[in-house]
Structure 1
Amino acid sequence: MNTRTTEEITAAVQAAVWAPSVHNTQPWSFVVENEEIALRADSDRRLRVGDAEGREMLISCGAALMNVRLALCALGRQASVRVLPDPDRTALLATVRLGGPTEADEHTRLLYDQIERRRTHRAGFTDVPVPDGLVEELVRQASAEGARLAPVRSEAAVRVLAALTEAAQEVQSQDRLFSLEMIRWAQPPGSARPEGGPAESYPREPQRTRPHFAQRDYAHGHPWGSDTERFTAASTGLVAVLTTPGDTREDWIAAGQALERLLLHACAHGVRAAFHTQALEMVHLREFLRQELLSREYPQMIMRLGFTGDDSAAVRRPITEVLEERRAT
């Protein structure tokens, strides 16, 4: 590969590692060979208890794939993507082969510019509502990747989602295996680990939103968390559910791509997201939501969207830990 191609591939992988992932596990790795980037799932980073099927892992990897696509296009290269190209290699989720030159449109460049700015929020939002026009555009962004973003406008439905989230959180917090898994991905204050949930990224004593959506207990009994003013807002924000018509591995990867596309568009307009996957990690609760609230579509992510002053830093592994380069043969 020439120097320019090497730089483009490096930039694409660098963009990929900024994708959101469950508990910031960053469950991906990349192999580069002959101007092709292979995205692989890192099963050692899968949540063995909370994500036994690997659904959340593949959603996370789908978000990383979205960033690779955006980066290459923004850098002026076409990209040919194959999802799940080899059924005998289950860890291989996608290949991205670099093509000829292209010119990115303004929106692609806008999304690319948000990749390192996007942050996951873990508290309440301000009272400023998300504009209806922006919500409609977020719906279109998800649809472009084969998923559906469903804003939850019914107060009763919001209460149901909040209650199920809190119930699942209570059950998981009493489960020793769930708790041990959370502890693995929780960072104490001052930690230098480039993974997991930093103590500075969530409030020490969060205000309850109405209705209240339970947050993960990363502190697990320790006085961790931040006391900064960015966590004083207490609005629930706009509740939305990302769904897919099917529930295959391909659907999960598509959901991840849709999620990242809509999050980047939201970020460009000052909107951030808080995620709530507790109820989706319990088979019977997820099926209840599918049957009773979501027109039989499969819920892949529950989120709240809103405005916040949160400017917390994010931690990511260096690409030297996730990238393997193979010489052409």
Structure 2
Amino acid sequence: MTGTIIPPTRDVLVDCVRTATAAPSLHNSQPWQFRIRGSRIEVYADPARRLRVLDPDGREQLISLGAALFTLRLAIRRSGHRSDYEVFPDADRPDLVARIRATCPSPVLPAVEALAAAIPHRHTNRWPFARTAVPAAVLDHLRHAAGREGALLASTGPAGRDALLRLARHADQQIQKQPGYREECAHWSGSSSRPDGVPPWAIGPPDAYEMLPIRDFIESAATRPRPSDRFEPNPSVLVLATQNDRRVDWVRAGQALQRVLLTATWHGLATMPISQPIELPSVRRLLIEPTSGLSAQMLLRVGYGRTIGRTPRRPLAEVLLPTGRRTQNYR
């Protein structure tokens, strides 16, 4: 006798979508929309929220969508159900990034509970970290987390780290010269009242050692310069990479990134993605040895840092689409 599979209720799936919106995104743009159809949830890219200057190809938007997809998978698993999913399930609807289906009930393992518990505590930390090395065993856990999602996470020695950070600083300087960059940064920063973007309290100070390229949101918003602070002189920098560089790989990189970030949070680490060298194609190609066949998708700084608050999130009503409604096709 076979048992009847009872799918999660709509209320449970709505709560899973709410959890998924805690995922990271470039400039906290939150470029996603969701639709619930029975036991399925569709994940859409919102073209109106793609950053046209920093992300003309939509790569970082899809990384953000991948992070939301992983968070959604984890939320469904924590609700006591397994799931399966498909990326880009409809070639005629490029804005439909993924479709995930909640399947059979399953006991929630302690590892799932622990990782899910990290979701509300994960945030980007743009402030100085302690001058304490991250243990090798913890770095191994982060690498394993990336591998579980089909990506590779590589740590760097002092020489490799310094070379990567030189490229990152160069990229940051070049990006600031791009037409429209400052206006785009200003649009996504500086306000404490809106439900998206980077609020003033989440913007870190410049590095007094001029080693780490901390995104210059405040000056881009035409306000007074920030005082600098002394960051850790030997930061731990990791490189997240994928075997290929297609749209599906960008989504894969986002899922791996979020699993790594949540694993780091569970270990008590602070994290800060360093995306400037990824945003400049000429620099991105230099981040990994060409003969490796890998494509760099993100640099990540990890360490032990101060506790800061979470950035705001859009109301669920803005991201959860009614059944039957299509996303608008912005050009």
* Residues 3 and 59 of structure 1: CA distance in aligned 2, closer, same or farther (over 3 Å): closer
Q: Measure, in 1, the Cα distance between the counterparts of 2:138 and 2:212.
A: 23
Deviation at 1:50, TM superposition (A): 1.0
Alignment partner, residue 265 of structure 2? 267
Q: Given the alignment, which residue of 171, 189, 210 partners 1:168? A: 171
1:75-124 per-position Cα deviation (integer Å, ceiling 9, x unaligned): 10121211111111101011111212111211111111111110101132
Deviation at 1:4, TM superposition (A): 5.7
The list of structure 1 runs, each at least 4 consecutive aligned residues, that deviate by more than 4 angstroms after superposition, is 224-227
Aligned sequence identity (%) = 34
Deviation at 1:235, TM superposition (A): 4.3
Q: Measure, in 2, the Cα distance between the counterparts of 1:232 and 1:208.
A: 5
Alignment partner, residue 217 of structure 2? 218
Q: Given the alignment, which residue of 274, 278, 281 partners 1:283? A: 281
Q: Measure, in 1, the Cα distance between the counterparts of 2:189 and 2:293.
A: 34
Q: Given the alignment, which residue of 14, 31, 42 partners 1:10? A: 14
Q: Measure, in 1, the Cα distance between the counterparts of 2:250 and 2:7.
A: 35
Contact 1:186 / 1:196 at 8 angstroms: preserved in 2? yes
Q: Given the alignment, which residue of 80, 87, 94 partners 2:91? A: 87
* Residues 298 and 4 of structure 1: CA distance in aligned 2, closer, same or farther (over 3 Å): closer
Alignment partner, residue 309 of structure 1? 306
Deviation at 1:260, TM superposition (A): 0.5
Deviation at 1:252, TM superposition (A): 0.6
1:177-199 per-position Cα deviation (integer Å, ceiling 9, x unaligned): 122111111124xx211111110
Deviation at 1:239, TM superposition (A): 0.5
- Partner amino acid, structure 2, of 1:298: S
Contact 2:206 / 2:214 at 8 angstroms: preserved in 1? no
Confirm or deny that 1:178 pairs with 2:181: yes
- The answer for unaligned runs of 5 or more in structure 1 is none
Contact 2:8 / 2:81 at 8 angstroms: preserved in 1? no
Alignment partner, residue 323 of structure 1? 320
Alignment partner, residue 193 of structure 1? 194
- Partner amino acid, structure 2, of 1:139: R
- The answer for unaligned runs of 5 or more in structure 2 is 1-5, 325-331
Q: Given the alignment, which residue of 107, 110, 113 partners 1:106? A: 110
Q: Measure, in 1, the Cα distance between the counterparts of 2:200 and 2:105.
A: 43
Q: Measure, in 2, the Cα distance between the counterparts of 1:313 and 1:57.
A: 20
Output the TM-score relative to the length of structure 2.
0.90
Q: Measure, in 1, the Cα distance between the counterparts of 2:208 and 2:129.
A: 11
Q: Measure, in 1, the Cα distance between the counterparts of 2:7 and 2:294.
A: 46
Confirm or deny that 1:71 pairs with 2:75: yes
Contact 2:206 / 2:213 at 8 angstroms: preserved in 1? no
- Partner amino acid, structure 2, of 1:244: T
Q: Measure, in 2, the Cα distance between the counterparts of 1:101 and 1:56.
A: 33
Contact 1:85 / 1:95 at 8 angstroms: preserved in 2? yes
Output the TM-score relative to the length of structure 1.
0.91
Confirm or deny that 1:253 pairs with 2:254: no
Aligned residue pairs total 317
Counterparts of residues 102-141 of structure 1 (less than 5 Å): 102-141=106-145
- Partner amino acid, structure 2, of 1:215: I
1:123-158 per-position Cα deviation (integer Å, ceiling 9, x unaligned): 3210121111010011000000000001112x2211
User: Superposition RMSD on alpha carbons, in Å?
Assistant: 2.1
Confirm or deny that 1:33 pairs with 2:49: no
